[in-house]
Structure 1
């Protein structure tokens, strides 16, 4: 039995999220059907992090076990032949004997990075529909950057946790938050050891409240300390959210792409 790791990229707009659901319509269902057609056998996949409906992935990481003997490029080309244009296998990696059973797409991950792309303009942009969130009121980046600093470090993020979140603990470590503006686009980059359900969208929504001047930066500190989800901003739209990178120890030798390079190629920062 061999453990295969795949890097998956997808446009989440037409899908009901990552995780398999009755009736299908998810990225996992579609990927596993493509794997079945390519391998002529049922293959169950495990992902690094589930994404909701409408959320995109620049580089989702999954693993599965199989006895099938194939070269890495064959997994890429073969599975892609059965996938729709909105989903693609970007790379494949077969773990060597002796360490394959030790790798787990979710539990071996050391950090996750998300980008949220926001279009800040008085008039919506049809060509960005589904690819970027939209706020028509002017936003100031500096207050949002100041507010974001309160979220760095190890904290209880209950104030930004969805009611249906199944995580065992609301305590996570936020490694980095960057907010960059390029013209009418604002890109939020959040890196943490792990994220709660809707955590990124809830944080971005609250930062926007600071950016439009309705709350001071210190409000984020108060929200964090209060641990009360009802006091924070509503969950922001999924359109501009991208799972961009899952970090792993170098010993696994995964051929991962740099998320920022992918963003630049997509033109989201131009």
Structure 2
């Protein structure tokens, strides 16, 4: 019997990161990659290799996470979508959902085909609390100059060497990254919630969390106002601010064409979006 050819599948997932130790499979901890690989095997009896668009730290959420895989399954796209979601929710009891699945060209690569990503970071600044929102935010209780926070965040826009804003154990060889745009605003309904949207071509390990943490430390007078500039100059992680907690960060969208990215940058950030 002739063996069926492999097809390249593109899948888009969303998940709550609270119970996952990040995306990428690691020993002795439970990750999203492990969960998806297990669900795919239950459905198709195939052991597949997943190629994700990003690693994502432990606790980080995903609104639209893209991955691709090679499979010989003859299941319809509808059956794959319904089947995986049924396994996630009814059998594995996981807070993860498959939004879409499609066939793509053999050269599509979830990571290397990306033209840019949109992340969102949430800060809760106030003494009141919200049952859903506050737990998805970094609750900052120290006095904060919000105008200074917004101003400092703009210092990250452009192409820079982000060595001082990556994790100590980050192994990336190229530390020069380009941030296209940063939009910071108060939530239109809950004034305690600060929403920071960041669009860039790519990011180093912990880069966004270190950027936000540094800006908050400056805005709360824990660091000098030239800290970001000094970070670029000296490339020393010890000179920059705290790493903001993972639960405030969400991967919002991954772009696979320049046109799609440019359109997103021209549109105002809208609500409600996952917060």
TM-score range, shorter chain: 0.7 to 0.9
- Take 1:173 and 1:202, find their aligned partners in 2: how far apart are those partners? 16
1:228 paired residue among 236, 256, 264: 236
What RMSD in Å do the two structures reach over aligned CA positions? 2.4
Equivalent in the alignment of 1:90: 99
State the match for 1:255 in structure 2.
none
Per-residue CA distance 1:46-71 (angstroms, 9 max, x = gap): 10001111111111100000111233
1:108 has 2:113 as partner: yes
Q: TM-score, normalised by structure 2?
A: 0.86
2:192 to 173, 184, 198: 184
Q: Partner residue of 2:28?
A: 23
| Contact 1:113–1:192 (8 Å) recurs in 2 | yes
Any unmatched runs of 5+ in structure 1? 253-257
Query: What SS does the corresponding residue of 1:94 show, helix, strand or coil?
Result: strand
Offset at 1:226? 2.2
CA-to-partner distance for each residue in 1:54-91, whole Å, 9 max, x for gaps?
11111110000011123322221111111134111011
1:81 aligned onto 2:86: yes
Matched residues in 1 for 2:259 and 2:230: separation?
A: 41
Q: Tell me which stretches of 4 or more aligned residues in structure 1 moved more than 6 Å.
A: none
Pairs aligned (count): 258
CA deviation vs aligned residue, 1:155-207 (integer Å, no higher than 9, x gap): 10011011111212111111111111120001111111110000010000011
- TM-fit CA distance, 1:219: 2.9
**Aligned counterparts of 1:162 and 1:199: Cα–Cα separation in 2:** 7
Q: Is the 8 A contact 1:59 1:259 kept in 2?
A: no
Offset at residue 21 of structure 1 (A): 1.7
Any gaps of 5 or more consecutive residues in structure 2? 1-5, 261-266
